[in-house]
Structure formats: structure tokens, C-alpha cells
Structure 1
Amino acid sequence: MKRLLPFIILAIGIFSCSQPSEENNSQSMSDEDRLELATEIAQNTIMVDGHVDLPYRMKVGGFTLQREILDVSVRTEGGNFDYPRTKEGGLDAPFMSIFLPANLQQVPGASKALADSLILMTERLANTFPDKFAMAYSPADIEANFEKGLVSLPMGMENGSGIEDDLDNVEYFHSRGIRYITLTHGRDNLIGDASYDTTGTHGGLSDYGRQVVEEMNRVGIMVDLSHVSDNTFRDALEVTKVPAIASHSSARVFTPGFERNMSDELIQAMAKNGGVMMINFGGTFIDSAYAAGRDKVRDHIVNWLAENELSRSDSAAQAYIKKYTEENNPFPSVERVADHIDHVVNLVGIDYVGLGSDFDGVGDSLPTGLKDVSMYPNLIAELLKRGYSREDIEKICYKNIFRVWKAVEDYAASQG
């Protein structure tokens, strides 16, 4: 037996080496088999999305138990998010965006009041359907909800205007469940300059904004640098003592001149900080050619309707619009989202990228194959096709953002 042992070990080794893992084999799979594997991964892996604009959509749609208005516990005709589609796509923890429009900044108290209203609306969703949704204030909460089969509803506040001019509101919003704050939105605010605003009010982060970032660190709220200007981005990374995030941004290399996206310099700076960039799925975010293609299709349809004396509501017009749009599809594809992930991975590594779809926030611009929350497996299948392993995909889906979130929690705990 002892003489046979080396040969047995060798045979086992050869057999083991000849059995490729499912991930390594995924590149040679058929598209159908690869999608099946992707769906299995999505269903059995915690998936966090950094930004879903459901609360504001519920506000606009009139959230109520009367299903004829808006009830996302069942399948809805509009929007990108509801419970059935969420479960189909394997999404477990969509960060609910507590979105505060920049125009409210001009009215004292208005931003904070809206934030409170949207937080209550999110809590009401979890309380009304406790068999489907649950609030989540930490990675541990998400893990516990995942084991129960519940969709977690962590919250991030989109626009630091809700803090107004009172630093105590940072701790207040932490007590209300907010776990990240996007420092700005469409316009410069008291905290700093925004990417969509060319005013440059502060030249970056304001003195007050520095205090806000320090206070966010102290209480345990992640610093979100989506929407900020490049100068604000750099300043915030200098101030923060913990990793930061970009909850819904994409790579500027694919959209030259679009400051809302992140340049390679900023991606590298965020990686050096230990943060995570969560890729936005919106068409204008992932492909500079989308806007031109969309406008061309829209102009053609407008002219065709006028020439044929039809309105969009006419059945003949709807059929034509559907056919023409399909034949002249201006939308980018799921592959383009994977290109952005590839770019970040190639630039700084797998540990600094995540998902931040902006579902319910980017209108109908979403790419083919990623039109709603049921379609995450399509993206995972594309990543498998490109050679990403299950461990890589787990990092993208939740491990990277959990690492940052836990670091923020640990720092806050150390501050007493």
C-alpha cells in the first residue's frame, strides 16, 4: 500500500487539476448555461445596490395600500423596482435614496422636512410588508435579513442639504437610520461644490463641509462623493479618516467632459483611500454616444408623428415607435456596464468597485439587458463570460461595500 501511495496521490492531483471550477469553465459555457449559473450566484449571494430612488418615486406615485396607485409589494407596470422583480434578480439590499432636490436648499427647513418624510415612507414600507421588507442599519442587519429571505432597506441621503446649517443634524440623521450622505446634488450647497454646478462657490469643500465630513466620521455615516465637483472630491478625501464611497458614479473615460462621472485620477485616489466606486447603469453615465442616439430617434419620431398627423397615444403610432426604436436602438447594452467594471478593476483592482444602478432615478435611459432589478443576472453572466470568479462577483455585489461600511462603523465606535 505504501508503494502505491505516491501513485494514488499523483492520480488524485491529476484528477483534481482536470476538473475546472464552475467559474473558470464559465467562459466556455453556452450563453444559456452561463445565465443559469449567474442566476444561481445572484440568488445565493448577498447583493447590495448603492442607489435606488424608490422613496421619491413612492412620494410622486402616492404610496398607499390601495394598489391602484402604487404598491411595490406586487409587480408594478412602471418604474424599475418592485418586490417580485427584486426577488427575481437576487437583489437583497438596495440603498433607498432619500433624495432631496437642490431647489429646496433655498427654503430653510424644507430639505430636512422632505428627508424626514421619505425616511418615514421607507419605514412604512417595511412595517406594512414585514414578510417582504426589513429596515437595515448595518452589514449585520443585511446578513440577518438575507437569512430570513427579506429584502433589506438601508438608507442613504442624496444631498447633504438636509443637514442645513446645523451640525447636530448629522447625528440626528444617523439616529434616523441614514448610513451614507451624498455631500451635494445638482447645485453647490453649504457643504461644497457640485459637479453639475459651474459656480464653484467654495472652490471645493467649504469650511463647514470639512466639519460635516469629520462629524460623519465620528457618528458612523459613510461619505458619498457622487455628485460632487472634482475639487470637493479631493478635499473630502483629505479630510475623511475612513474610506469613502461613490454610491452611483461611472468612469469618465467613457464619457469625456462629464464631470459627474469619475476620472481615472479620482478612481485611483478613492482606491488609495480604501473606498469603493459603485457603477451607475444610466445611459448617459455609461456611454457618451447614448445621448446623440436618443436625440436622433426622438427627432425622427416627432417628425413622423407630425407628418402622419398622429399623437403618441394612437395605436398605430405606438406600434411604429416600438418598431422604429427597436430597429434603431440608441441604448447601450449590459456589456457597457461590464466595461466600466473592467476599467476600474484594470486600473485599481477588484476591491474597489460595486453596483450603484440608480434604478428609478435615470428614467428610461437604462441599457438593454438591465432595464430593471430583475436583470442583475444578465450583468453577472457578462462578468462570468469575461473570466470573473465567484469570489470576484461576491466582492462586487457586497464584500467591497461591507468592508467600507464596517470600517466606518469601527472608527465611529472607537470615538466613543
Structure 2
Amino acid sequence: MKKTMTLSRITALFIGLTAVPGVQAAEVSDKATALAQQTIIVDGHIDVPYRINDNWVDVTTATKDGDFDYPRAKEGGLTAPFMSVYVPASLDNSPASTQLANQLIDSVEAITARAPDKFAIARSVADVKEQFEQGLISLPMGMENGSPIQGDMDNLTHFYERGIRYITLTHSQSNHISDSSYDLRRQWKGLSPFGKKLITQMNNIGMLIDISHVSDDAFYQAVELSKAPVIASHSSLRAFTPDFERNMNDDMLKALAKNDGIIMINFGSGFVSKAAREWRAGLSQARNKYIKEHGDDEATLDAFDAQYRKENPYPYSSLSDVLDHIDHVADLIGVEHIGIGSDFDGVGDSLPVGLKDVSDYPNLIQGLLERGYSEKEIKGILSDNFLRVWSQVEDYAAEH
């Protein structure tokens, strides 16, 4: 199902409005600002809970660090950021993973309790829409790494009841549910026997299935087994980052479209730029060589890293790079399969120029306007596409 260029996009090409790679969008227009403020903006993945668990700050007010707080979210028009309940792979197969997940959910509940005039937990599409009308920022939650399920369907029910609405099946290592794209050990050759049962039960309970982080085999098995659309909550495209399995290739995108699912584009430079990935590989090689020759003393390693970065500046990606990923999906499978999954507060100091924090969504909207996307298409990317998928998952569960 290849997308045909809209008339507005063709016109943009002829009159020179399409952004040139490496060139930032023009000053944000009143139209882009209005779209940001008047449209629900869903971001599929923001790592606030783990950020404030590590170093607590009150995100209901302005904060000096990080990518998210209330004033910046309001400035950017963000209205439904999925709070990522991230559990590191180092806690897999231990009660500590379930404990941490509950603690991080507690932290999201604490945010809404401290500022009920600013935030509210969202458990459904209806909640998001109602809270938007009330002027509140919705905080739906997704679990990044299914480790806390511990092979027990009762835990799935428990976390659903606590407000979790998607589960990223695995993270950086293979777990009891699925193989990971980052883990060379493919113990399950896709999903585990429990993982396959979990897919069915997630469908039945109304839990979105998130295939970001999983291996290719696990992805294909998940979309084959799922009776409802799946999501990639924070992934980008392998067409621009060859050999980076964490991103999705074109065949996977086509399978995602057949499933009626959605890919939510990750903003991190390493996800959208080949140059950034090559820089990271170069640092790792140089660091390993230094350790071999000089040892791994922490202080000297820190000095080495600082000197390397000084001599080899990090090649930040651009807003244009992110837009290229959106264009590719739109042209390959249709704009209706695109969303936003920034990974704010999750990718450190690697965010693109022009998309540095949650105040910058108007820059993205401006870029989309300049590339000829219609208002309807932009609203789809900002939220309508994801809310459609979420509604389909809710509807399937209601029937089963």
C-alpha cells in the first residue's frame, strides 16, 4: 500500500518549501503554533519515571535538566505523553524488576497527586480526550521491558489495573518473553512459549503490544499472533541506519501496515542518523583500545572520553533527518501508520538540533507543513493514528 503524494506535497516540491537535508525549518509559523496547542499530541515514549527515580526533581514545575517538565510541555502543546515504566535488563528474573515497576507507577501517581490541576492518569482513549478538553496533560503509562510480568498472567492483570496500557516485550537482553534486537543470544528464536501466550492475553485484556526492542523474528511472530494492531512505541528506520536491528526495515513496515499498526518515530540522533551511529562505534573502539593499553581506571577513562569528544564532536542529527524518516514511512505504507515516540529523557545528550525537549513539537509541525503534509495528516501523526490503534485494541478486548 504505497502512499500517493498529496497535491500539497507536490506543490511544496515545486515552490521550494520542502526542507533541505541538514537545514532547519524556518521560524515557527502561527499555524504550526496553533496546531500544537489545539491538537492532542501523543508521544509514545518519555522516560520521566526512571529519570526522577534516579535523581528526583519536581516536573510539575520548571526543571533545570532533563527534557520534560510542565511549563515546557505546555509550551510545546504536549497533551498525552506515555510515561515509560522502564525496568533495566539487569533486573530480569528477579523480584526487583516487579518491585521497581510498581515504584515507578507510584511516582507517576505522585505527579498527578501533587498537581491535579495540571496532570491526570489516562487509562483509555476516552480519558485522553476528556482530559484534553479539561486542559490537563494526560499521563498514560507503558512498561518498557516485560520482565516484571515474571511469567505470571496475574501480574499482567495487576499492571493493567495499575494503569499500564502497553508493554514493550523486552529491552536490551532476551528475557522470559522475547529475544531482544540488542542481544546476540537468540534463545527463543523469537518469542518464548510464554511470550506467545502473553500476546493472546494482552489482546484479550486490552493491553497494547509494543514491538520496539524485539528481534526481527519476535516482531514477525507478534504481528502474526496478535488479533489487534501492534505499536512500535519508539523506533525509527533501518533504511537510514543499516545493520541497526533496533530500527525497523521496509519489510517489517509493510507487515506492520498489514496489521494496521503504527511506528512512532524515535528522535535520538543514533536512531535517525548513520553518522551518529558510526561516531558511537568509533568511540567504543577507541575506548576499548585505551582500556587494553592503560587499564580501566574510572578517572582516566573519564578524561579519555572528554578528550575524544573534544577532538571528535558528536554529529547531532537534525530536524530534517527526523522528517526524512516520516517521509519514508509515509511513502512506503501511508501516513496513517506514523506517530511520535521521541524517547525524551531516555537518549541522553543525543537529541537532534531543533528537537531538544518537549517544548519543540511546534518545530516538528512546522517541518511537516513545509514538506507539504495536510493538517489532517499532521493531526494523524500527532495523535489520531495512535488513538485509532488504541481504540481498536480497546474494542477487541471489549468483544473478548
Q: Same fold (TM over 0.5)?
A: yes
| The one of 57, 73, 80 aligned to 1:86 | 73
Quote the offset at 1:330 in angstroms: 1.4
Whether 1:128 and 2:114 are equivalent positions in the alignment is yes
2:340 aligns to what? 355
- 8 A Cα contact 2:265 2:342, kept in partner: yes
Aligned to 1:406: 391
Residue in 2 that maps onto 1:76: 63
What CA deviation, in whole Å up to 9, does each residue of 1:349-408 have, x standing for no partner? 011010000000000000000010000111111111000011000000111101110001
Given that residues 51 and 356 in structure 1 are in contact (C-alpha distance below 8 angstroms), is that contact kept between their aligned partners in structure 2? yes
- Tell me, yes or no, if structure 1 residue 51 matches structure 2 residue 57: no
Report the identity percentage.
51
Question: Secondary structure, in 3 states, of the residue corresponding to 2:165?
Answer: strand
CA positional deviation for 1:40: 1.1
Distance 1:146 1:189, change over 3 A: same
Conserved in 2, the CA contact under 8 Å of 1:249 and 1:277?
yes
Q: Aligned-pair distance for 1:106?
A: 3.5
**Any idea what SS the aligned residue of 1:374 has?**
coil
Residue number in structure 2 paired with 1:231 = 217
**1:84-163 residue pairs with structure 2 within 5 A?**
84-107=71-94, 109-163=95-149
| CA deviations over 1:238-273 (Å, ceiling 9, x no partner) | 110000000000001110000000011111100110
Asked whether 1:191 is paired with 2:185, we answer no
| C-alpha deviation, 1:294, in angstroms | 6.4
Contact 1:188 / 1:201 at 8 angstroms: preserved in 2?
yes
Compared CA separation, residues 129 and 330, structure 1 to 2 (3 A): same
Alignment of 1:357-376 (within 5 A): 357-376=342-361
Q: Look up the equivalent residue of 1:53 and give its one-letter code.
A: D
Does the aligned pair in 1 maintain the 2:276–2:314 contact within 8 Å? no
**Is 2:384 the partner of 1:390?**
no
Query: Aligned to 2:177, what secondary structure does the other structure show?
Result: coil
**Would the alpha carbon gap of residues 336 and 390 (structure 1) be closer, same or farther in structure 2, given more than 3 Å must change?**
same
SS in 2 for 1:339: helix
Matches within 5 A, 1:261-410: 261-293=247-279, 330-410=315-395
Q: Secondary structure at the match of 2:184?
A: coil
Contact 1:35 1:378 (C-alpha < 8 Å) held by counterparts: no
Whether 2:153 is the aligned partner of 1:167: answer: yes
Q: 1:187 to 1:335 in 2, by over 3 A?
A: same
Deviates more, 1:286-295 or 1:197-206: 286-295
Counterpart of 2:157 in structure 1: which amino acid? E
Partner SS, residue 277 of structure 1: strand
Amino acid at match of 1:411: Y
Give 1:86's aligned amino acid.
A
Task: Measure the CA separation in 1 of the matches of 2:308 and 2:151.
Answer: 49
**What is the rounded CA distance, in whole Å, between the counterparts of 2:30 and 2:311 in structure 1?**
31
Which residues of 2 match residues 205-224 of structure 1 at below 5 A?
A: 205-224=191-210
Partners of 2:234 and 2:396 in 1: how far apart? 24
Moved over 6 A (4+): 23-31, 294-299, 320-325
What's the secondary structure of 2:191's corresponding residue? coil
Q: Partners of 2:321 and 2:245 in 1: how far apart?
A: 19
Structure 1 residue 32: Cα displacement: 5.5
RMSD: 2.9
User: Aligned partners of 2:254 and 2:202: how far apart in 1?
Assistant: 23
Aligned residue for 1:157, secondary structure, equals strand
Q: Normalization by structure 2: what TM-score?
A: 0.87
* Ranges in structure 1 where 5+ consecutive residues have no aligned partner: 1-19, 63-69, 300-310
> Does the aligned pair in 2 maintain the 1:53–1:360 contact within 8 Å?
yes
* CA distance in 2: counterparts of 1:183 and 1:146, whole angstroms: 29
Greater Cα offset, 218-227 or 72-81: 72-81
Contact 2:43/2:80 (CA < 8 Å) preserved in 1? yes
Give the length in aligned residue pairs.
373
Higher RCO by CA contacts (8 Å cutoff, separation 6 or greater): 2
Question: Which position in structure 1 is the counterpart of 2:292?
Answer: none
Which ranges of structure 2 fall in alignment gaps of 5 or more residues? 1-6, 20-24, 287-299
DSSP-derived class of the 1:247 partner: strand
Contact 1:248/1:279 (<8 A) preserved: yes
- Structure 1 Cα separation of the partners of residues 53 and 190 of structure 2: 32
C-alpha distance 386-98 of structure 1, shift in aligned 2 (>3 A)? same
TM-score calculated relative to the size of structure 1: 0.84
Per the alignment, in what secondary structure is the counterpart of residue 242 of structure 1? coil
Aligned partner of 2:272: which letter? I
More divergent stretch after superposition (356-365 vs 141-150):
141-150
**Is contact 2:93-2:147 (8 Å) kept?**
no
